[in-house]
Amino acid sequence: MKVLFVSPGWPKGRLWGELGFKFPSLSLAALAAVTPPEWEVGLWDENIEPSPPATDADLVAITAMTPQAPRAYRLAAHFRAAGKTVVMGGFHASNLPDEALQQVDSVVAGEGELIWPELLADFRAGRLQPVYRSGSLIEMTAIPVARRELFGGKKYLFTNTLQTTRGCPFDCEFCSVTAFYGRKYRKRPVDSVLAELEGLRRKNSFAFFVDDNLVADRNYAMELFAGMRGMGFKWLSHAPIDFADDREFIRAAGEAGCVGLFVGFESLNQEALKAMGKVTNSSRSYLEAAKVFRDHGIGILGSFVLGNDHDTPDVFPQLLRFCEKARIEAAIFPILTPYPGTEVRRRLEVEGRILSNAWEDYDMEHVTFTPKGMTVAELQEGYDWLNRSFYSFGSMYKRIWKLHRSVQVFAPMNIGFRAALRRKMKV
């Protein structure tokens, strides 16, 4: 029996579709790792290989985030027309299984590792069920090493992506992580993570931990950092801005090879932070915190959500000035997006403010709701202006011109984002 794992492409003319650097889907490699050995597995990533393959697979498994869902459905129709059975998982199908079932034969809702072997057994026995949902969250000791050999021969920037924890103890209004992984913070044994890293470092000195918050458990992270010291990795992950408050902790991350962290600033307005549930953030300390990150050799990929109820058109130049003053090495400026399964979607639905369910526009680049402090056009135009301004050569010079060990990552990142934005404007 054969299964083909499919990662749909991002549309051209959208930022994520125009970025030149591509990363593989770790979730599909994780499912491949729990696929019984009698199954032959393959991977087609449309972001790398544009044309659908002619396949003799018995089963096609598609994963998709919300903006990829329309493309995933079209691909499902393509494969079903060729006589294939198609199953779908990921954030979108997990939150809207009834919708997905109109397009595919079966849906895996939530974490798939526990239930995937059961689905395969049912398929072989001719009793495939419409929905598979694990009765519990997977114990992190049960997660096998991802089958990265699936990525071989594909033009990824690098394939050293791994996950050490799942879940988040916080519950920000706009975030879909807790709806999928839960609020319980679960950790893989440090020894197994270090063993995996030992194998990865023979292939590439860079690594990316996809954890939504690598440092939520101090003792766990400190043990991991101690084990990584001397391994020679240059790595990136996610952490909250208050990570800077613990100098010993952040120093340990830097000594373990951390060169960059994704940090959710989200807003410069403390009332807005409170409303969205971002309890770890104090906007008054942002400038000092950014300096602490930099002083320990760690650059920042900042995230600032645009269009919350406290935002007015003044927010766009304010954010640009702050980022340049704080020397934020790189940033994304997502428009608030009411993803299925999030608290913000439930609130905006009650308030009658959802403008569109065109899922392809749920890419954090398009306005899909009615803002309070500005018009739809002002929010869209402000988003476009802020991205162009932040990734202008003048702003890049102000933010990253001083030599710093993170420049080796963030200088190419800035160039990549700038090029993607320019290609996007031409489409």
pLDDT in tens, 49-88: 988 888 999 999 999 999 999 999 999 999 999 999 999 9
Q: What is residue 203's predicted lDDT score, i.e. its pLDDT? A: 74
Give the pLDDT confidence score for residue 285 in this predicted structure.
94
- Residues 415 and 426: their CA atoms lie apart, in Å, by 17
Question: SS3 for 282?
Answer: coil
Report the amino acid identity of residue 96.
L
Average pLDDT of the chain, as a whole number? 92
Torsion of CA 310, 312, 318, 323, to 10 degrees: 60
The proportion of the chain whose per-residue pLDDT surpasses 90, expressed as a percent, equals 75
Q: Which of 118, 168, 163 is nearest to 144 (CA)?
A: 163
Residue 170 pLDDT > 70: no
pLDDT attached to residue 419: 94
pLDDT score recorded for residue 183: 60
What pLDDT is recorded for position 166? 83
Q: What angle do CA 406, 265, 392 make, to 5 degrees?
A: 55
Asked if the model's pLDDT at residue 131 lies above 90, the reply is: yes
In terms of C-beta density within 10 A (0-12 exposed, 13-18 middle, 19 or more buried), how is residue 68 classed? buried
Reduce the DSSP state of residue 386 to 3 states and report it: helix
pLDDT at 413 over 90: yes
Look at residue 179 in the predicted model and tell me its pLDDT: 59
Question: In the chain, what are the domains?
Answer: 2-133 (3.40.50.280), 160-425 (3.80.30.20)
What order of strands is seen across the sheet that includes strand 299-304? Answer: 161-162, 206-209, 234-238, 258-266, 299-304, 330-332
Q: Which of 8-22, 28-42, 227-241 has the lowest mean pLDDT?
A: 8-22
Q: How many CB atoms lie within 10 A of CB 262?
A: 20
pLDDT score of 175 more than 70: no
Q: What's the token pair of residue 278?
A: 């971002």
